[in-house]
Amino acid sequence: MFYFTVDILGTIAFAISGVLVAMEKKLDFFGVLIIAFVTAIGGGTLRDLLIGNTPVVWMRDSVYMITIIITVILAILFVKQLKYLRKSLFLFDTIGIGLYTLVGIEKGLDAGLSPLMCIALGTITASFGGVIRDILCNEIPVIFRKEIYATACIIGGASYFILNQLPIAPNYAFVIAILIVIALRIIAVKFNIRLPNIYRS
């Protein structure tokens, strides 16, 4: 139940982030719906494909698709309010990233992968939806250019494995790791921390 709630919250957060990007590109209703859908399920779909977990999760359980459709309709109806919430694009995206990173790690553990691969799988789950969203909108994916994004997923993911070595209930470790991902990204953007420039000139 706990796990399921996290998954649905992440789906809603990413779907809204997809709607906001798609509406800037002036796509029609189905364009917006598809971008929202792909942003929300893209990372989890690639994760399921990579570990051979098919049919992929959203095809076995209609709750994801129904959640996304309702989210998109509500987001479009209240678009005026959403437009005043520029910062929410960032916030929803960030919450989604935190949630999905840990969901991906959980699935990697279920598939018997090593911690290193679980962290990679969590990072893919968290970031690939946004990558597809940007590719479909014909832009260089934002995570390659700006902000400490993958770094937050990787540090948060690693902290989950460290926390599990301590005498902490697994659910707490799970939530703390999610908050670490979210906090890292917010701090990085707030204080404009970027990865060191690797270009000499």
Contacts with a copy of itself, residue ranges (CB under 8 A): 22-23, 25-32, 34-35, 45, 49-52, 54-56, 59, 62, 65, 76, 79-80, 111, 113-114, 116-117, 120-121, 131, 135-141, 143-146, 149-151, 194-200
- 63, exposed or middle or buried, with CB in 10 Å at 0-12, 13-18, 19+? middle
User: How many CB atoms sit inside 10 A of residue 185's CB?
Assistant: 24
Q: In the bound complex, what is the minimum distance in angstroms from residue 113's beta carbon to a copy of itself?
A: 6
3-class SS at 138?
A: coil
Q: What tokens were used for 151?
A: 């770094």
Q: In the bound complex, what is the minimum distance in angstroms from residue 184's beta carbon to a copy of itself?
A: 13
Nearer to a copy of itself, 51 or 85 (CB): 51
Q: In the bound complex, what is the minimum distance in angstroms from residue 172's beta carbon to a copy of itself?
A: 28
| Letter string b/e over residues 107-138, b meaning 16 or more CB atoms within 10 A of that residue's CB | bbbebebebebbbbbbbbbbbbbbbbbbebbe
Residues in the chain: 201
Nearer to a copy of itself, 52 or 167 (CB): 52
d(CA 19, CA 180): 26
CA–CA distances in Å: residue 63 to residues 8, 25, 41, 68: 8, 28, 12, 9
Nearer to a copy of itself, 168 or 187 (CB): 187
Q: In the bound complex, what is the minimum distance in angstroms from residue 106's beta carbon to a copy of itself?
A: 15
φ, ψ (nearest 5 deg) of residue 198:
-100, 10
Nearer to a copy of itself, 6 or 21 (CB): 21
Nearer to a copy of itself, 129 or 173 (CB): 129
Q: In the bound complex, what is the minimum distance in angstroms from residue 98's beta carbon to a copy of itself?
A: 17
